[in-house]
Amino acid sequence: MSNKLISQMGLPPSLSHVFAARSIITAKDALSLPEFDLMALLDVPLAHARSAVARISEIACPPYQTALSLMEDRAGSGGHLPTMLRGLDDALCGGIPFGALTELVGPPGIGKTQFCLKLSLLATLPACYGGLNGRVIYIDTESKFSSRRMIEIGENSFPQIFRSEGLAPKMAGRIIVMRPTSLSDFTDSLQQMKLSLLQHEVKLLIVDSMAALVSGENERSEGGPGRHPLRSSLSFLKSLAEFSRIPVVVTNQVRSQSKDEAYYHTFQEERKDNCQNSEKFESHLIAALGIQWAHAVTVRLVFEAHSGQKFIKVAKSPMSPAIAFPFIVESSGISLLSDEGIDVTGPEINTIRNQGQNILSQ
Amino acid sequence: MEIANLPISASQRSKLLSAGYATLSSLSSLSPSHLARDLNIELQEALEILKVVSDAADRSKSTDGHHQALKGVQTAWDMLSEEQMQQHITTGCEDLDHILRGGIHCGEVTEVGGVPGIGKTQLGIQLAVNVQIPVEYGGHGGQAVYIDTEGSFMVERAHQIAEGCINGILDNFTDHDRKILACQEWMQPNSFLSNIFYFRICSYTEQIAVTNYLEKFLKEHKDVKIVVIDSVTFHFRQDFDDLACRTRILSGMSLKLMKLAKTNNLAVVLLNQVTTKYTEGSFHLTLALGDSWSHSCTNRIILYWNANERYAYIDKSPSLPSASAPYSVTSKGIRNSTSHCKRVRMM
pLDDT attached to residue B258? 92
Per the structure, the count of domains in chain A is 2
Residue spans per domain, chain B: 3-69, 81-335
What is residue A160's DSSP assignment?
I
Helices (H) and strands (E) in chain B, counts: 14, 13
B7 Cα to chain A: minimum distance (Å):
6
Q: Are residues A256 and A297 in the same domain?
A: yes
Same structural domain, A157 and A42:
no
**Minimum distance, in Å, between the CA of residue B192 and any CA atom of chain A:** 8
Q: How far apart are CA A249 and CA A207, in angstroms?
A: 6
Residues 164-193 of B with CB under 8 A from A: 190, 193
The answer to whether position A38 is within a domain reads yes
- Residue B236's nearest CA partner among B196, B283, B296 is B296
Q: What is residue B211's predicted lDDT score, i.e. its pLDDT? A: 93
Between the two ends of chain A, the Cα-to-Cα distance in Å is: 57
Mapped onto helix, strand or coil, the DSSP state of residue A133 is coil
Check for a shared fold between B3-69 and B81-335.
no
Quick check: is A67 in a domain?
Answer: no
More confidently predicted of B163 and B290: B163
Cα(A70)–Cα(A206) distance, rounded to whole angstroms?
26
Judged by CB atoms closer than 8 Å, whether chains meet at B238 and A234 is answered as: yes
- Residue B181 binned pLDDT confidence (cut-offs 50, 70, 90): confident
Q: Which of A70, A238, A318 sits opposite B198 (nearest CB)?
A: A70
A239 & A317 share domain = yes
Give the pLDDT of residue B259: 92
Q: Rg of chain B's alpha carbons, rounded to an integer?
A: 25
Burial call B22-35: b when 16+ CB within 10 Å, e when fewer: eebeebeebebeeb
Distance from CA of A47 to the nearest CA of B (A): 9
Note the pLDDT tens digit of each residue in B109-120. 999 998 888 889
Peptide bond preceding A32 in cis form (omega within 30 of 0):
no
Q: Nearest Cβ partner of A2 from B206, B288, B331?
A: B206
Cα separation, B95 vs B337, in Å, equals 8
Out of B190, B238, B302, closest to residue A231 by CB: B238
* Rounded Cα distance, B173 and A262, in Å: 48
CA distance A82 to chain B (A): 15
User: What pLDDT, on the 0 to 100 scale, is given for residue B346?
Assistant: 37
Distance CA B271, CA B207 (A): 14
Question: Is the domain of A301 the same as that of A345?
Answer: yes
Q: Are the C-beta atoms of A241 and A296 separated by less than 8 Å?
A: no
- Which residues of chain A are under the pLDDT cut of 50? 216-227, 271-283, 357-362
Answer yes or no: do A55 and A137 share one domain.
Answer: no
Asked whether the beta carbons of residue B305 and residue A346 sit closer than 8 angstroms, the reply is: yes
Same domain assignment for residues A220 and A258? yes
CA separation for the pair A309, A311 (Å, rounded): 6
Q: Are strands A101-105 and A299-306 parallel, antiparallel or unpaired?
A: parallel
A-to-B residue pairs, Cβ atoms closer than 8 angstroms: 244
The percentage of chain B sitting over the pLDDT mark of 90, rounded to a whole number, equals 29
- Pair A131, A33 in one domain: no
Instruction: State the residue range of the domain holding A83.
Output: 77-350
A45 and A161 in a single domain? The answer is: no
Asked if the structure places residue A118 within a domain, the reply is yes
| Percentage of the residues of chain B whose pLDDT score is greater than 70 | 92
| Beta carbons of A68 and B209 less than 8 Å apart | no
Pairing of strands B333-335, B224-230: unpaired
Q: What is the mean pLDDT of residues B338-345?
A: 46
- Inspect the interface and report whether the beta carbons of B206 and A53 lie closer than 8 Å: no
The residue of chain B with its CA nearest to that of A267 is B315
CB contact under 8 A, B307 and A57: no
User: Residue A272: what pLDDT?
Assistant: 46
Q: Please indicate, yes or no, whether residues A27 and A82 belong to a single structural domain of this protein.
A: no
Shortest Cα distance, chain B CAs vs residue A150, angstroms = 31
Write the residue in A44, A291, A345 that is nearest to B9 by C-beta: A44
Whether the ipTM is more than 0.95: the answer is: no
Per residue in A36-82, pLDDT (tens digit) is 888 888 888 888 888 888 999 988 888 898 988 888 887 766 678 88
- Pick from A176, A282, A196, A271: nearest CA to A240: A196
Give the CA radius of gyration of chain A. 24
Under CATH, which number does the domain B81-335 receive? 3.40.50.300
B330 - beta bridge partners?
B333
Nearest to B309 among A93, A238, A346 (CB): A346
Chain A residues with CB-CB distance to B201 below 8 A:
62
Q: What is the pLDDT of residue A357?
A: 47
Residues 80-109 of chain B whose Cβ lies under 8 A from any Cβ of chain A: none
| pLDDT, mean of residues B283-304 | 85
Question: Are A232 and A93 in a shared domain?
Answer: yes
Cα separation, A132 vs B41, in Å, equals 70
Is the predicted pLDDT of residue B152 greater than 60, yes or no? yes
Q: For residue A319, give the chain B residue with the closest CA.
A: B157
Q: Nearest residue of B to residue A231 by CA position? A: B238
Do residue B209 and residue A56 have CB atoms under 8 angstroms apart? yes
- What average pLDDT does this structure show over B174-200? 82
- What does the pLDDT average to over B190-215? 91
CATH of the domain at A204: 3.40.50.300
Query: Do A83 and A16 belong together in one domain?
Result: no
Q: What tens digit of pLDDT does each residue of A6-40 get?
A: 888 888 888 888 888 888 888 888 888 888 888 88
Top-tier CATH class for B3-69? mainly alpha
Do the Cβ atoms of A318 and B152 come within 8 Å?
Answer: yes
A235: nearest CA partner in chain B? B238
Q: Is position A355 within any domain?
A: no
Query: Are A204 and A273 in a shared domain?
Result: yes
